[in-house]
Amino acid sequence: MINSAIQQNFESIRSNKAFELFVVSVIIASALLVGVKTYELAPSSRSIILWLDLLITIIFVTEITIRFIGEPNKREFFRKGWNVFDTLVVTISLIPIDNSDLVLVARLVRVFRVLRMISIIPELRMLLASLLKALPQLGYVILLMFIIFYIYAAIGATLFEAINPVLWGDIAISMLTLFRVMTFEDWTDVMYETMAVYPLSWVFYLSFIFFTAFAFLNMVIGIVVNVMDAENEKMRQSQQPPSQEPTLQELQEQLQRLERMLEAQNRSESARSD
Residue 103: CATH number of its domain: 1.20.120.350
| 176 and 110 share one domain | no
Question: Which of these three, 77, 102, 120, is where a domain ends?
Answer: 120
| 42 and 58 share one domain | yes
Q: What distance in Å separates the CA atoms of residue 125 and residue 20, rounded to the nearest whole number?
A: 14
Residue type at 121 in one-letter notation: I
| 135 and 104 share one domain | no
Alpha-carbon Rg for the chain in angstroms:
31
- Alpha carbon 167 to its chain's center: 35
* Cβ-based burial of 67 (10 A; exposed 0-12, middle 13-18, buried ≥19): buried
Q: What pLDDT shows up at residue 53?
A: 82
Residue burial 113-127, b: 16+ Cβ < 10 Å; e: rest: bebbbbbbeeeebbe
Tell me: the pLDDT tens digits for 75-99?
777 777 778 888 887 877 776 655 5
| 110 and 44 share one domain | yes
Question: Which of these three, 95, 120, 145, is where a domain ends?
Answer: 120
| 100 and 197 share one domain | no
Helix (H) or strand (E) holding 235: helix 217-239
| pLDDT band per the 50, 70, 90 thresholds, residue 192 | very high
| 9 and 85 share one domain | yes
Provide the angle, in degrees to the nearest 10, between the axes of the packed helices 187-195 and 202-209. 150
pLDDT > 80? residue 173: yes
Q: What distance in Å separates the CA atoms of residue 189 and residue 220, rounded to the nearest whole number?
A: 28
* Domains in the chain, number: 3
| 249 and 232 share one domain | no
Question: Which of these three, 59, 89, 120, is where a domain ends?
Answer: 120
Which CATH number belongs to the domain containing residue 196 in this structure? 1.10.287.70
| 6 and 116 share one domain | yes
Listing DSSP states for 57-85 in one string gives HHHHHHHHHHHHHT-SSHHHHTTSHHHHH
What integer is the mean pLDDT of 233-262?
69
Listed as own residue / partner, the contacts of 12-16 with beta carbons closer than 8 Å and 24 or more positions apart are 12/70, 13/66, 13/70, 14/66, 14/67, 14/70, 15/70
Nearest Cα to 119, choosing from 32, 232, 24?
A: 24
Mean pLDDT of the chain: 80
Range of the domain at 77: 2-120
| 248 and 232 share one domain | no
| pLDDT band per the 50, 70, 90 thresholds, residue 51 | confident
What integer is the mean pLDDT of 121-138?
79
